[in-house]
Structure 1
Amino acid sequence: MKKHRGKPIVQITDPDIEEYALRMTTSESEDVKKLVESSDEQLEYIDMLSGNMVGQLLKMLIKISGARRVLEIGTFTGYSALMMAEALPEGGELTTIEMNILYQELAENHFRSFDKDQKIILIKGDAREEVPKLAGVFDLIFLDADKLSYAEYYKNSLGKLASGGLLVVDNVLWDGTILEPQEEKAMALDAFNKAIADDDRVEQVLLPVRDGITIIRKK
């Protein structure tokens, strides 16, 4: 799926700088590279993959924070789930939720092939319904799902996040269209970003990495 086919976008980072930064970033494991190849073979577009810079940032946050229990909202074909699972310590677990049937099947196949330590649990369903059912709290939550539902996901997720835990949200700049939002998703993301900035229960930093990523820490 292409986000803005035929529509003008803002280039967030100079392409040469972004390419250089990517070259200077630790590369993906062979298993993750195989997952990308498999996804590309089976789908017309794979631009919803988080990408190596975001993936490595997630891995770094897990290692620095010592996270052992991770929740992902929006699996797609399993790229970011596998990246994060690779960073989890022994005994760590990652729960990921996906409602699209095709993506469920692709992710399930990928986890069967590449999740060698069986750290990933795939829940098939709507995260708006599934997250409230989950027991316990999580050390880190990664949100990368339906942009129109970000506010609801956030509301449900914050109660499942441990004190001092991290909530990482992808695509918060939406190719720069949040600056002068015209379409529905850009307007929803702009409203979401402003709500987070005004929420005194958390502290956050919005980074212009790839398509924009916000790191939120629950106080």
Structure 2
Amino acid sequence: MSYFEKLDPEMDEYLENHGSKEPEILAKLRKETYQKILNPHMLSGYQQGRLLTILSKIIAPKNILEIGTFTGYATLCLAEGLAADGKIITLDVNEDIAYLPQKYFEESSYSSQIDFKIGNALDFVRKNKEIFDLVFIDADKENYVEYFNLLKPNIKSGGVLLFDNVLWYGKVLEENPDLESTRNIKELNAMIANDTDFENVILPLRDGLSIVRKR
């Protein structure tokens, strides 16, 4: 459980009951993830998922990049806002559970718009020439700073980068953290805040979501 998931369960239930209903395919995927997958809490879940959908619908992106597919919940949430001729590239290294997101991608109405790749995301980003309207990064935390530096020229003006887990179980409050992962996330947060090409806000949703817009 993350630092910011320690809400009163009743309040958590209230928030879910008073937000837009989760599509049936996502409810099924969430249930199967918790039944079959190790560390199911890594799934974006209802609240973050609905936020991703709303942001995607506001932006109406033609090109989305997602780093960290897991079981595909966030992928499908982001796909809800795709332009009619849009696509989402989603990357993960875990071949063992790839069957599960693939199954739900094929069942969804976005199957022709989702390009699911198994492989090293950093290698992909280094070679990438495409321009993205929306990027969601939720994996490979030790390379968050490098992803930001590499992707900056590949985000269009007005485009949005989303970084998950940027409060890192509250460890970002430590002045001299022992963990390299904590130092890396603190460096990312400081770098984004001081980059005049971008504007951002960090939402204390679950483990912290940084919403970063290119000017």
Q: Which runs of 5+ in 2 are unaligned?
A: none
Name the aligned partner's letter for residue 193 of structure 2: A
Indicate the residue corresponding to 1:217 in structure 2: 213
**Aligned letter for 1:193?**
N
Deviation at 1:105, TM superposition (A): 3.1
Deviations 1:10-61 (A, max 9, x none): 4466435444323222121111111112222221321111121111111111
Of the three residues 57, 81, 88, the one matched with 2:82 is 88
Pairing 1:32-181 to 2, within 5 Å after superposition: 32-180=26-174, 181=177
Find the partner of 2:181 among 181, 185, 210.
185
Secondary structure of the residue aligned to 2:97 is helix
Q: CA deviation at 1:167?
A: 0.4
Distance 1:18 1:183, change over 3 A: farther
Shift of 1:71: 0.8
The 1:166–1:11 alpha-carbon spacing in structure 2 relative to 1, beyond 3 Å, is: closer
Deviation at 1:77? Answer: 0.9
Q: Which has a greater percent of helix?
A: 2
Q: Is the 8 A contact 1:73 1:97 kept in 2?
A: yes
Give the fraction of aligned pairs with identical amino acids, expressed as a percent: 37
Q: What secondary structure is seen at the aligned counterpart in 1 of 2:98?
A: helix
Q: Secondary structure at the match of 1:47?
A: helix
Q: Per-residue displacement from partner, 1:162-209 (whole Å, max 9, x unpaired)?
A: 111000111111221211144332222112111111112211111111
- Structure 1 residues 121 and 44 mapped into 2: Cα distance closer, same or farther (>3 Å)? same
Answer with 12-21 or 58-67: which moved more.
Answer: 12-21
In the TM superposition, residue 118 of structure 1 has moved relative to its aligned partner by 2.0
Contact 2:198-2:214 at 8 Å conserved across structures = yes
Q: Deviating runs (4+, > 3 A) in structure 1? A: 9-14, 16-19
Structure 1 residues 57-66 or 13-22, which shifts more? 13-22
- Distance in 2 between residues matched to 1:173 and 1:206, nearest whole Å: 9
Query: TM-score scaled by structure 1?
Result: 0.88
d(CA) in 2 for partners of 1:115, 1:78: 14
Give aligned pairs, total: 212
- Of 140-149 and 184-193, the range deviating more from structure 2: 184-193
* Amino acid of the structure 1 residue aligned with 2:187: A
Mapped partners of 1:157, 1:40: distance in 2: 32
1:200 aligns with 2:157: no
For normalisation by structure 2, the TM-score amounts to 0.89
**Cα distance, 1:128 vs structure 2:** 0.6
